[in-house]
Amino acid sequence: MRKTINTKNAPAPVGNVYSQGVVAEGRLVFTAGQLGLDPAAGKLVSGGVQAETRRALENVKAIVEAAGSSMDRVVKVTVLLADIGDFSAMNEIYKTFFPDAPPARTAFEVGRLPLDALVEIEAVAVIDQV
């Protein structure tokens, strides 16, 4: 079983060639990588890596919640940074979204991100069975 997730509370997929998220077997939700895009404006937020990190995680949260899960059910996060030197600044915001028992995480520098963003974040969360 595979179900796509789409919410107005996160940016629409660029070019409609991917889904915001996918629920697999009714148990796991996988988000697409989220930039610091304001869903209403469709543009990157200003304010640097911390502002982009906050917005990217708010977008992840919107997708995870639209799938029937929550941030405290996130089990794995991948963080892509345009500059690994921004790791500490990103981490300051990141830890506010995962204050207790944070998920497993991988973070690394990449050559370039879409729209010249500073950070992109994807997540995998568990959906509570009802």
Read off the pTM.
0.91
The domains found in the chain, sorted by start residue, are 2-126 (3.30.1330.40)
pLDDT for position 34: 97
pLDDT for position 55: 98
pLDDT average per 10 residues of sequence, the chain (130 residues): 87 79 87 96 96 98 96 96 98 96 95 97 87
pLDDT for position 129: 63
SS3 letters for the chain? CEEEECCCCCCCCHHHCCCCEEEECCCEEEECCECCECCCCCCECCCHHHHHHHHHHHHHHHHHHHCCCCHHHEEEEEEEECCHHHHHHHHHHHHHHCCCCCCEEEEEECCCCHHHCCEEEEEEEECCCC
